[in-house]
Amino acid sequence: MLRRRVWSSARWSLPLLLTLIWFAPSIAGAADLSFPGGSITLTGHNAQPLSGPVKIVVLLTVLSLAPALLIGVTAFTRIIIVLAMLRQAIGMQSTPPNTVLISLGLFLTIFTMTPVLQKIDEVAVQPYLDGHLSESQALQAGENPLKKFLIAQTREKDIALILELSHTEVPSSAEEIGIFQLIPSFMLSELRTGFEIGFVVFLPFIMIDIIVASVLMSLGMIMVPPLALSLPLKILMFVLIDGWSLLASSLVRSFQG
C-alpha cells in the first residue's frame, strides 16, 4: 500500500515539476531555491542555462518515461506486433519467449531509428554539449527530425482524427502539427500497419492448417489433432525459407519506403 501511494504521488508530481521547469524562464523575478547542502538556480530572463540539480531532475524524469517514449515515437510498436502475430500464427504460445521477441524488436528498432538518432545527435545533442545551444533550443532542434519521421509514417486520416478529438484547428502544413497530436496519430497508424503485415504473415500458416485438416478428414483420422502434424510442417517451412531473416529485413525496410 505504501509503495502504491509513493508511486501515485511521484506520477503526478513529476509532470508538475516538468511544467514548472519549462515555464520557469517566463516567471517574473524567478528566485533561487536554497536548501541545506546546496541550491537550485532556475533560468531567468537572461536565458541562463539550467543548474546542475535541475538537469539531473529532468534527466531522471526522462529516463522514467523512456519505455513510453520507446513505444510511442519509434518503430517498436509495429515490429513487436508483427513478431507476436508470427508466433501466434506458427502455433507456439511461448516459443520464442517474450524476452527474445522484445530483445529482437529492440535491436530492429535501433537499426530502423539510426538515421533519425544520428540527425538528432548532429543538430541538437552535439551543439548543446559544445555550448552552442541552450536547453530549449536543443529541444526544439531535436524535435524536428523526430517529427519528420513520425509524419512520414502517419496516415492523414489518423492525424485528422486526433486533431478533431483534441479540438485543434487543422494547421496549414504538417510541420505545424504539435508533437502531442502527432504521437497518438503515429501510434494509430502503426497499429494498423502492424496488423496488416501480421495478416499477410498469417496467410501461409493458415493454408497449412487447412490442408492438414482436409487430409486428415479425407483419411478418416478424425481423432488426430491437426496441430500435431501442422506445427512441425509450419516450423519446417519457416526455417527452409529463412523466415526470420526475411521478416526482419521486411520490417526494417517498411520504414524506408
Q: What is the pLDDT of residues 68-102, one digit of tens each?
A: 777 888 888 899 999 999 988 888 888 888 899 89
Mean of the per-residue pLDDT values for the chain? 75
Q: Does 236 reside within a domain?
A: yes
Q: Does 65 reside within a domain?
A: no
pLDDT band at 195 (very low <50, low <70, confident <90, very high): very high
Tell which phi-psi region holds residue 37, choosing left (phi > 0), alpha (psi between -120 and 50) or beta. Answer: left
Q: Does 68 reside within a domain?
A: no
Instruction: Give the span between the Cα atoms of 25 and 220, in whole angstroms.
Output: 79
pLDDT of residue 226: 72
Closest CA to 251 of 16, 17, 80: 80
- Give the mean pLDDT of 1-12: 42
Q: What is the pLDDT of residues 209-223, one digit of tens each?
A: 888 888 878 877 777
Q: Does 111 reside within a domain?
A: yes
Percent of the chain with pLDDT over 90: 5
Instruction: Give the span between the Cα atoms of 51 and 54, in whole angstroms.
Output: 6
Segment among 24-38, 75-89, 121-135, 237-251 with least mean pLDDT: 24-38
Q: Does 169 reside within a domain?
A: yes
Q: Does 71 reside within a domain?
A: no
pLDDT band at 257 (very low <50, low <70, confident <90, very high): low
Q: Does 207 reside within a domain?
A: yes
pLDDT band at 35 (very low <50, low <70, confident <90, very high): very low
Q: Which domain holds residue 192?
A: 79-257
Q: Does 9 reside within a domain?
A: no
- Give the mean pLDDT of 19-26: 40
Domains in the chain: how many in total?
1
Q: What is the DSSP string of the chain?
A: -HHHHHHHHHHHHHHHHHHHHHHGGGSTTPPPEEETTEEE----TT-PPPPHHHHHHHHHHHHHTHHHHHHHSSTHHHHHHHHHHHHHHHT-SSSS-HHHHHHHHHHHHHHHHHHHHHHHIIIIIHHHHTTSS-HHHHHHHHHHHHHHHHHHTS-HHHHHHHHHHTT-PPPSSGGGS-HHHHHHHHHHHHHHHHHHHHHHHHHHHHHHHHHHHHHHHHTT-TTS-HHHHHHHHHHHHHHHTTHHHHHHHHHHHTTT-
Instruction: Give the span between the Cα atoms of 107 and 116, in whole angstroms.
Output: 15
- Give the mean pLDDT of 30-43: 45
Which one of 110-114, 131-135, 229-233 scores highest in mean pLDDT?
Answer: 110-114
The answer to whether the pTM exceeds 0.75 is: no
Question: Does the structure show a pLDDT above 60 at 19?
Answer: no
Cβ contact 20:54 at 8 Å: no
pLDDT of residue 24: 40
